[in-house]
Amino acid sequence: MTETQIFEPDGRAIPYADEGTTGPAVVLIPGRGLNISYLGPLAHALVEEDFRVVRIGPRHPATAADATVSMHDLAQDVVDVMDSIGLGSAWIGGHAFGGSVARTVSLDHPGRVGGVLLLGVEGAEQTDELGAGGSGIPEGARDVEVDAMQRAAQDASPDIEWSTLAPAVPVLVVQGAEDRLTPPANGERLRESAPDRVSVVGVEGAGHLFPVTHVGATAWPIEDYLDWD
C-alpha cells in the first residue's frame, strides 16, 4: 500500500499519494468530507495498467484561517502538490465534489490540465458524501471538519467559478446508473452543453460510491479513453 505523504506549503497540510511512474498521469480528488484512502483501489487498478496516479486530499482546517477558503484555494492546493512532485500536467479528476475542484483547476490553471475526469457530476445542490454511503464508506475515510470547510468553500464561490467547463478541455464523465446524489441526468446535461468534447460512460447497477463498489467498471473507461486520447 502506498504511504500517504503530507505537503505543507505555508503551513497548509495537504495529503497526497503518488503511484506509478509511466503512462498517462491522472490526479484523483476525493468527495466532500472524505480523504484519499477510499480511492486507493481505483488508483491501484489504474497503476496496474501503467498509469501514474496522484491522489490529492483536502487540507485539514487545523486553524481558523484554514477553515476560511474558496474553491480557488482548494484548486491551488492541487497545483501546489503537482509542482512539488514535478508533475507538469495531468488529467485532473475527482469524485462528486472532488470533480468540482477539478473543474476549478481547469478554469484557474488551464495549462496544467490535459483533461477533466468527473466521477459523478455535481449539480447546483451540494452533495453529502458523508451521509450517502452509510457503511459503504470505508472506515477512516470520513472527516466532519473537512466536510464543513469544503461546504463553506463552495458557498463562498459562485457556481460559475467551479461548474463551468474550461474552453477546449476534453471531459470524461463516469457515473453510477443508480447514483441519487450525482444523478446521471447531471452528466447528460453536461454532455448536451458541449457534445463535441464531453463523453459519458455509465456504470450499471452502481450508486454514489461506485469508485469503491465497482472499481473495475470505473477504471476501464478511464484506461480506454486516456489511452486513446
Identify the domain containing residue 134 by its residue range. Answer: 5-228
Set of cell numbers at residue 229: 486520447
The CATH number of the domain holding residue 202 is 3.40.50.1820
Set of cell numbers at residue 185: 441526468
Q: Are 24 and 227 in contact (CB under 8 A)?
A: yes
Sign (positive/negative) of CA torsion 3, 210, 228, 194?
A: negative
Q: Give the span between the Cα atoms of 218 and 28, in whole angstroms.
A: 13
**What is the number of other CB atoms lying within 10 angstroms of the CB of residue 42?**
24
Sequential pLDDT tens for the chain (229 residues): 678 999 998 888 999 999 998 789 999 999 999 999 999 999 999 999 999 999 999 998 876 556 689 999 999 999 999 999 999 999 999 999 999 999 999 999 999 999 999 999 998 766 677 665 555 677 778 888 898 899 999 999 999 999 999 999 999 999 999 999 999 999 999 999 999 999 999 999 999 999 999 999 999 999 999 875 5
As for how many domains the chain has, the answer is: 1
